[in-house]
């Protein structure tokens, strides 16, 4: 009898699959009936019709590894040649499928008749890819920048300080830095810092108007976590520690994540299972809603009713996965009671922007990303939107760039920005 030892990438991936397989993964994989309904939920499949983009197919290697290691049928099928092993070629073949044609938006879980959590399972597949080191080059580069420089966009410590000072001067807004004993620590993304500085201004204005004791942190300056996109748990923890250690150091009661979807999902819904949390974690949209309800800020009702239909794009990690579905609607109903219209598929069933999960950072994925965005354009056309609000800077980057690519007149705006514009000074 000859024993075949799987060569390096496949071996590493299989080890990772086996390592991540607990009762949770096993029961999910065993519940699957291979009905294919998940394909219809996937925006990548809907936009391209490529059957390989079906979520169930994205977890194919995990299924093989699980069945062939842990089940009698799986072992028998492999021996009889009725199922394929996981090979090096498979790893290379599936890598772009899970990194470039999946935003981990988890909409598939919402339509699965069995309720299988495909998003987290696909994330497990990414972890295996990361172990096998078969990762898109652009993602590797972004991870390296975040590890060495402190930001995936390559913003250095000095550049960050300069930029914050410039923003504070230019818009004449106070931005407290490293203030110990504050109640709230706010963590922004590099995207906001470099591409949407008005968002930082807006959030600063809102918190100042409410008289909130808040601060940003120099060591905890980057909320984005490229370790999540890559699927490397060690780097996830490393990047997260920069934030959580700062929050602990500053002695804050809560950490507010701004417009960053996956960082919110990670810090709010995953981190407590990985590390000790120094404080509670919430999202800026929940804070704003809370400030309005507590009458700590006053907004001009109907401030954005003029100027055509305004709609809302649900971010997968802040709304569907994050739980903040009502808050942005409360705010929009106040700001645009007559011109606010929902998209056809919204809330938990929202169609992802196509740029999440690190996809926007991967150059090769651009054509696919634009193709998927056509769905979003069609949705916005259906309601005749002239403006689309959202609570995720990554979505907004995808919107801004893709709207420009297609020459669409629709304007993508941050919800915080609208709130800041409607503030009534007291």
Using CB under 8 A, list all residues that contact other proteins.
21-28, 30-37, 39-41, 45-46, 49, 51-52, 54, 56-57, 60, 70-73, 77, 82-83, 109-117, 268-270, 272-273, 280, 319-323, 325, 344-345, 347-349
Question: For residues 71 and 309, which CB has a smaller minimum distance to other proteins in the complex?
Answer: 71
User: Pick from 222, 216, 223: which is nearest to 179 by CA?
Assistant: 216
User: Pick from 62, 66, 125: which is nearest to 96 by CA?
Assistant: 125
State in angstroms the smallest separation of the CB of 245 from other proteins: 19
Residues facing residue 186 across a β-bridge: 256
Q: Which two tokens stand for residue 44?
A: 């990548």
Question: For residues 113 and 367, which CB has a smaller minimum distance to other proteins in the complex?
Answer: 113
State in angstroms the smallest separation of the CB of 348 from other proteins: 5
Question: For residues 88 and 349, which CB has a smaller minimum distance to other proteins in the complex?
Answer: 349
Question: For residues 114 and 424, which CB has a smaller minimum distance to other proteins in the complex?
Answer: 114
State in angstroms the smallest separation of the CB of 51 from other proteins: 4
Would you say how long the chain is, in residues? 426
Crossing angle of helices 197-209 and 284-293, in 10° steps, is 30
Question: For residues 81 and 181, which CB has a smaller minimum distance to other proteins in the complex?
Answer: 81
Question: For residues 171 and 269, which CB has a smaller minimum distance to other proteins in the complex?
Answer: 269
Q: Are 357 and 262 in contact (CB under 8 A)?
A: yes
Question: For residues 112 and 200, which CB has a smaller minimum distance to other proteins in the complex?
Answer: 112
State in angstroms the smallest separation of the CB of 204 from other proteins: 26
State in angstroms the smallest separation of the CB of 277 from other proteins: 9
Pairs from 286-291 (Cβ < 8 Å, separation ≥ 24)? 286/324, 286/327, 287/184, 287/207, 287/256, 288/206, 288/327, 288/331, 288/415, 288/416, 288/419, 289/326, 289/327, 289/328, 289/330, 289/331, 291/206, 291/210, 291/212
State in angstroms the smallest separation of the CB of 123 from other proteins: 14
Q: Which two tokens stand for residue 136?
A: 């898109």
User: Pick from 310, 260, 316, 249: which is nearest to 285 by CA?
Assistant: 260
Ramachandran class of 72: left when φ > 0, alpha when ψ lies in -120 to 50, beta otherwise: alpha
State in angstroms the smallest separation of the CB of 128 from other proteins: 17
Q: Are 227 and 234 in contact (CB under 8 A)?
A: yes
State in angstroms the smallest separation of the CB of 30 from other proteins: 4
Q: Got the DSSP string for 131-148?
A: HHT---HHHHHHHHHHHH
Q: State the Cα–Cα distance between residues 70 and 76, nearest whole angstrom.
A: 11
Question: For residues 58 and 235, which CB has a smaller minimum distance to other proteins in the complex?
Answer: 58
């Amino acid at each position: 009898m000859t024993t075949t030892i799987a060569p390096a990438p496949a071996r590493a991936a299989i080890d990772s699959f086996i390592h991540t397989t607990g009762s949770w993964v096993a029961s999910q994989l065993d519940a699957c009936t291979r009905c294919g309904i998940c394909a219809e939920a996937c925006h990548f499949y809907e936009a391209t019709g490529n059957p390989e983009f079906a979520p169930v197919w994205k977890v194919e290697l995990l299924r093989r590894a699980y069945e062939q290691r842990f089940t009698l049928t799986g072992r028998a099928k492999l021996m009889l040649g009725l199922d394929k092993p996981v090979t090096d070629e498979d790893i290379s073949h599936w890598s772009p499928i899970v990194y470039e044609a999946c935003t981990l938006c988890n909409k598939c879980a919402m339509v699965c008749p069995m309720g299988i959590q495909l998003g987290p399972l696909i994330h497990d597949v990414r972890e295996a890819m990361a172990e096998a080191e078969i990762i898109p080059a652009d993602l590797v580069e972004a991870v390296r920048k975040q590890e060495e420089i402190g930001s995936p966009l390559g913003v250095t410590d000095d550049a960050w300080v300069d930029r914050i000072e410039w923003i504070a001067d230019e818009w004449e807004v106070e931005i407290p830095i490293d203030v110990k004993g504050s109640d709230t620590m706010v963590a922004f993304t590099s995207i906001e810092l470099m591409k949407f500085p008005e968002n930082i201004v807006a959030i600063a204005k809102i918190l100042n108007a409410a008289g909130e004791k808040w601060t940003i942190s120099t060591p905890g300056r980057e909320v984005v976590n490229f370790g999540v996109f890559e699927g490397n748990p060690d780097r996830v923890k490393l990047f997260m520690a920069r934030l959580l250690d700062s929050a602990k150091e500053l002695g804050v009661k809560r950490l507010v994540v701004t417009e960053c979807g996956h960082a919110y999902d990670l810090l709010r819904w995953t981190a407590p299972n990985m590390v000790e949390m120094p404080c509670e974690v919430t999202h800026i949209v929940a804070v704003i809603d809370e400030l309005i309800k507590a009458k700590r800020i006053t907004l001009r009702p109907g401030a954005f009713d003029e100027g055509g239909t305004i709609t809302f794009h649900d971010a997968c990690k802040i709304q569907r996965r994050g739980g903040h579905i009502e808050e942005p609607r409360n705010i929009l109903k106040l700001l645009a009671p007559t011109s606010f219209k929902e998209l056809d598929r919204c809330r938990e069933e929202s169609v992802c922007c196509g740029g999440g999960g690190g996809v926007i950072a991967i150059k090769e994925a651009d054509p696919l990303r634009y193709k998927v965005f056509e769905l979003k354009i069609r949705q916005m056309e259906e309601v005749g939107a002239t403006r689309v609000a959202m609570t995720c800077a990554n979505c907004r980057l995808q919107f801004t760039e893709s709207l420009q690519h297609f020459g669409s007149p629709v304007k993508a705006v941050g919800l915080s920005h609208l709130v800041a514009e409607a503030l009534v000074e007291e």
